[in-house]
Amino acid sequence: MSRRAAGRRALDGVRVIDLTQALAGPFCTSLLADQGADVIKIEPPRGDFLRYTGPFGSDDEPRDYGGVFQSANRNKRSVVLDLKKPEARNVLLRLVNDADVLVENFSAGVMERLGLGYETLAARNPRLVYASIRGFGDKPGGESPYAHWPAFDIVAQAMGGLMSITGRDAEHPVRVGSGVGDTVPGLFAAFGILAALREAERSGRGQYVDVAMADSVLAISEVVVNTYGHTGQVPTPIGNQLQGFAPFDTVEASDGVVALGAPHNPQWAKLAAIMGRPELVDDPRFATDHARWENRDAVYEVVNDWTRRHTVAELIDLLGGKVPLGPIFDAEDIFADPHFAARDMLPTVEHPVSGREVTVPGIPAKLSRTPGAITRPAPLTGEHTTEVLRELGLDSNDLGALAAAGATVLPTLQEQTS
């Protein structure tokens, strides 16, 4: 678990009904859970399909609790409700009565067909903040011609512009290696939810938070909008460089590569001095930020000529703490590096079946007075069904009737009657 104190947290007392699956929605609600929200994950009887996606440990049997699911669903409670059944929908409506937030990422129109659309839920609970994450959004934010298109991370990265500027050249567009087409929409949804909760404190009224995966990717693809909007030019991939900045790239060492950024005059002057080339500061080709970009081939020729004479370790000694520079860390490097240990970015949770400790990503937003915490692993499917429904006021007969109707799955008879 996170070693940071699990005392009072910023979102204590906030209840979130989580109807999401896959990554974008669960990632959003995990951010709220990390800060103390009581997130009740509603799953169909088969569970969230992300459970069956790896990575898995060698002793993970059955393979229904994958690493990505574990990461995106820590700190939550799981309730099984088959929303195709009217009895399950009635239970959900009762849960909504006392909820602060509901998050879903179904295809457009699904919640309406279930009789659980925003207008219906807001009529029951006017303070409810209702958030949806879809590939191309929903009506409240502007109805897209692609509103009914399914989408995955790679589709959002492609249509949001990010792939058009990622890679070595325009002929070989590259998807960013992590699922930013999911996690970035999750971040924007969490931000929108918190903004709407803050407003609800003043007005007493909730609202709809409409997040599109494609919009979210476009919002972080600033090069696409800024370049075309100002110049009419279509930016294309330029490898590890950033348009308008030089040097800002990976550069060669004698035994590898490092990431280096010194695009502004103060940084360039420091780099030139360390390289033993102080005259470069006054060279007209390199005298301004823009000039260095315009003459970037010459900039990289000069810099690489110097960096190739040194090992990665030597470059870190020479430039670390003086000029923005970093080695290219892989997973093994990250797990061994003191920064991530000091920042508690690799906490562990106990796998509920094997009992072994597994690592999940830590909490990047460090609140000084009410820090977030990872206090429990992701739940087993329906692990908390009995617990949550009893809190709702259902007794053993009610639980049995729900199970008999196929509206829920209860783990054991003992849990029903305990």
Tell me, yes or no, if 182 is annotated catalytic.
Answer: yes
Rounded to the nearest angstrom, the gap between the alpha carbon of residue 276 and the centroid of all alpha carbons in its chain is 43
Question: What DSSP state is assigned to residue 156?
Answer: H
* Rounded CA separation 312/318 (Å): 10
* Rounded CA separation 52/56 (Å): 9
Helix (H, G, I), strand (E, B) or coil at 238: coil
* Rounded CA separation 99/97 (Å): 6
H-type alpha helices, 116-232:
118-124, 153-159, 180-203, 213-220, 222-231
Rounded to the nearest angstrom, the gap between the alpha carbon of residue 191 and the centroid of all alpha carbons in its chain is 12
Around 204, how many Cα atoms within 13 Å sit in the side-chain half-sphere?
Answer: 0
* Rounded CA separation 43/78 (Å): 7
- CA-closest candidate to residue 168, choices 69, 238, 96, 268: 238
Of 18, 182, 210, 249, which is the active-site residue? 182
SS3 for 324-345 is CEEECCCHHHHHHCHHHHHCCC
Helix (H, G, I), strand (E, B) or coil at 209: strand
* Rounded CA separation 310/38 (Å): 52
Using DSSP bridges, classify how beta strands 248-253 and 256-261 pair: parallel, antiparallel or unpaired: antiparallel
Hey, how many other C-beta atoms are within 10 angstroms of the C-beta on 374?
A: 24
State the catalytic residues: 182
